[in-house]
Structure 1
Amino acid sequence: MVSTRASSRRKRFTNQSSFQRHQRIHTGEKPYQCSQCGKSFTRKYTLQTHQRIHTGKKPYQCSHCGTSFKQKAHLQTHQRIHTAEKLYQCPQCGMSFRLKHHLRGHQRIHTGEKPFICVQCGAKFSHRSNLKTHQRIHTGETPYFCSQCGKSFNRENNLRRHQRIHTGETPYFCSQCGKSFNQENNLRQHQRIHTGEKPYFCSQCGKRFNRENNLRQHQRIHTGEKPYFCSHCGKRFNRENNLRRHQRVHTGETPFICVRCGAKYTNKRSLIRHEHIHAGEKP
């Protein structure tokens, strides 16, 4: 038995390797580096899990529907779709969650707590993962790339969603109407069409929403928060899609194209207005 004293507490370990691993929390040492992207990790197992982003390997398969996952924990979470198991319930609104940390994150909707702060611009977030993703706006980092087409993403779930374009996979089925989805979140949101459920409500004005993201966007009306800002001119926005639309002013990107004449526009609204010309309508 190996032991170490930190402050007034003594932490014990069953073997020397566990003790050495623990010490890296204090030293910040990350000896295991990914040969593909250079990212470093404190544990060999974490490196091996990370490398599956590059290889696309998914060794953990669901026995119910065949969906595969890179991590065992993700498989276990997924399997609760089939069992409908939701162990953790919010005492304020009764909404249930499959994971305890999802409940904790959800409860911040009710408390308004945003403990994770961006040191670059001061934007505040209720989830650490949202802060990490936000920080890539400043760094421009897109560490997750598709092995099929090379496109890179700033979020792993965006990569997974993108990869289903290549595979055509839609593993999430609605038990009410049979419609299938490539994301679990899209399935849950769709099911609220059948139930009429609006579980997310604003503590300021009581307005209810069927999506958590819609609630967060709405709350910025009350707080005046504008967490998304343009790295070119500093202009700030309360929605990420508004920032992306604005950035086309600087980049000159015109992704909306008229199929009749090839005219290009920076936003969909301008394209729709233009299409009225072909239809003989007044815009």
Structure 2
Amino acid sequence: MFLRAQNCGRNCGSSFFINADLKRHLQTHTGEKPFTCPNCGKSFTRKESLENHIRIHIGEKPFTCLLCANSFIRKGHFKNHMRIHSGERPFTCHECGKSFTQATILKNHQHSHSGERPFSCGQCCKSFISEKHLKIHQKIHQKLFLCSFCGKMFSQLGYLKEHQKIHSGEKAHMCSVCGNSFSRAKYLKEHQKVHTGEKPYKCSHCDKSFSQSGNLKIHERVHTGEKPHRCPPCGRSFVTSSALLSHRRKCRQKLT
């Protein structure tokens, strides 16, 4: 049996063999998003995308890497992550020979050779080489949620609610080991590594490992020589903001 591909018909070059796939794709042009999250109001074109999104709210990450203990909401993200460990790059560009871990990254890369920008914004007609870049751009047009305490704006209601916990002092996530509380589940999860001894963040320059990504970032500056925190009055630079703050007190005294 011969299957005939159906063109999108919206001048984007996409074609599909399955009607359901074509229907889902057309929603990217019409903007139709029938599946809405009851927690934050965000909407999706597919039911599966909504189910994956809801895992963010409940903190569920069912796909765990046995090599580094990183967990993932989606199976596809887990499979892509495993290629970091295996070094597998199965998707190769026939134009320049570069290889990639994901088919979508290869496809976006190929647009750089052709000059094609197939992803267009329906509100201002700007075009982009990848769907990711289009989605980032579309946030400009989204309704913004304003924090009444500090004036900061957010693209999603859920992000605003999380942010407002900083002002209210609400710390709903408590560590069962030491009783420390945190405003976000991810902060609690980072903290708990102190108790478990887990150090998943490994330095690419030496054998040191860290329980928190921020500590690894600071440590790597020892190898790179990066000192991003600069004192404007005297021009000295420092590895950490706390070191700069300590210096500024002394620097201020000298200047006065």
TM-score normalised by the shorter chain: which range applies?
0.5 to 0.7
Q: Cα offset for 1:39?
A: 2.1
1:117 pairs with one of 81, 86, 92: 92
Aligned residue in 1 for 2:132 = 157
1:44 pairs with one of 8, 14, 19: 19
Using the size of structure 2 for normalisation, the TM-score is 0.59
Q: Identify if the C-alpha distance between structure 1 residues 155 and 104 changes in structure 2 by more than 3 Å, giving closer, same or farther.
A: same
2:9 pairs with one of 14, 29, 35: 35
Distance 1:177 1:206 in 2: 39
Q: Cα offset for 1:40?
A: 1.2
Over the aligned positions, Cα root-mean-square deviation in angstroms equals 3.2
Using the size of structure 1 for normalisation, the TM-score is 0.54
The total of aligned residue pairs comes to 176
Q: CA offsets per residue over residues 72-108 of structure 1, 9 Å max, x none? A: 2211110101111111110011111112221121111
Written as runs of structure 1 = structure 2, the 5 A alignment for 1:136-147 is: 136-147=111-122
Deviant stretches of 4+, over 6 Å:
none
Residue 76 of structure 1 pairs with residue 51 of structure 2: yes
1:166 counterpart SS class: coil
Q: Cα offset for 1:204?
A: 7.3
- Is there any run of 5+ residues in structure 2 with no aligned partner, and where? 145-154, 167-185, 194-198, 218-256
Q: Identify if the C-alpha distance between structure 1 residues 132 and 44 changes in structure 2 by more than 3 Å, giving closer, same or farther.
A: same
1:36 counterpart SS class: coil
- Asked whether the equivalents of residues 141 and 154 of structure 1 are also in contact (C-alpha less than 8 Å), the reply is yes
Written as runs of structure 1 = structure 2, the 5 A alignment for 1:84-99 is: 84-99=59-74
Distance 1:168 1:210 in 2: 32
- Answer 1 or 2: higher relative contact order, Cα 8 Å, separation at least 6: 2
Identical-residue share of aligned pairs (%): 40
- Is there any run of 5+ residues in structure 1 with no aligned partner, and where? 1-19, 180-190, 215-283
- Asked whether the equivalents of residues 53 and 144 of structure 1 are also in contact (C-alpha less than 8 Å), the reply is no
Q: Cα offset for 1:157?
A: 2.3
Aligned residue in 2 for 1:166 = 141
Q: Cα offset for 1:177?
A: 6.4
